[in-house]
Amino acid sequence: MSDMQVKSVGIDSPTSWRTKLTHLGPGLILAAASVGAGDMITSISGAATYGMGLLWVAALGLLVKFGITEAVGRHYIASGATIVAGARTVAVWLPYLLFGFFLVVAVVFGAGLSSVAALALSTLVPSIPVVPASIAISVLAAAIVLRGRYSALEATMKWFIALKFGLMVVLAGITLVQLEDWGAFFGSMRPAFPSGSLIDVIALIGGVGGTAGIAAYSYWVREKQWNSPNWLPMMRLDAATSYLIIFVFVVATTIVGTGLVYGTGRSVKGTDGLAALADPLGADLGSATRILFLVTFFVVVFAALIGGFNGLSYLLADSLRTIRRVPLDAVESYVSEKSWVFRSFVLLCLLSSVAIVFTGRPVALVLVYAAIGSLVLPILSACLLVMLNRRDIAPNLRNGLASNAVLTTALVLFVVLAAVQIVESF
39 or 144, higher pLDDT: 144
Residue type at 122 in one-letter notation: S
Structural domain contains residue 12: no
- Domain containing 280: what range? 21-372
Structural domain contains residue 415: no
Is the pLDDT at 412 greater than 80? The verdict is: yes
CATH of the domain at 137: 1.10.4160.10
Residue 4 pLDDT: 43
Structural domain contains residue 402: no
Residue 357 pLDDT: 78
Percentage of the chain modeled with pLDDT above 70: 82
Residue type at 84 in one-letter notation: V
Quick check: 37 and 301 in contact, CB under 8 A? yes
Structural domain contains residue 13: no
Question: How many whole angstroms separate alpha carbon 371 and alpha carbon 45?
Answer: 20
Question: How many whole angstroms separate alpha carbon 112 and alpha carbon 340?
Answer: 25
Band (6; pLDDT cuts 50, 70, 90): very low
Quick check: 110 and 352 in contact, CB under 8 A? yes
Q: Which of 126-130, 229-233, 368-372 has the highest mean pLDDT?
A: 229-233
**Closest Cα to residue 257, out of 54, 39, 48?**
48
From first CA to last CA, the distance across the chain in angstroms is 42
Structural domain contains residue 410: no
Residue 2 pLDDT: 45
Whole-model pTM: value is: 0.88
34 or 140, higher pLDDT: 140
Cα 385 to chain centroid, rounded: 22
Burial class (CB in 10 A: 0-12, 13-18, 19+), 397: middle
Structural domain contains residue 115: yes
Residue 267 pLDDT: 57
Interior/surface letters 108-132, b for 16+ CB within 10 angstroms, e for the rest: bbbbbbbbbbbbbbbbbeeeeebbe
**Closest Cα to residue 90, out of 313, 322, 321?**
322
Structural domain contains residue 183: yes
Can you tell me the mean pLDDT for 257-277?
62
Structural domain contains residue 5: no
Domain count, the chain: 1
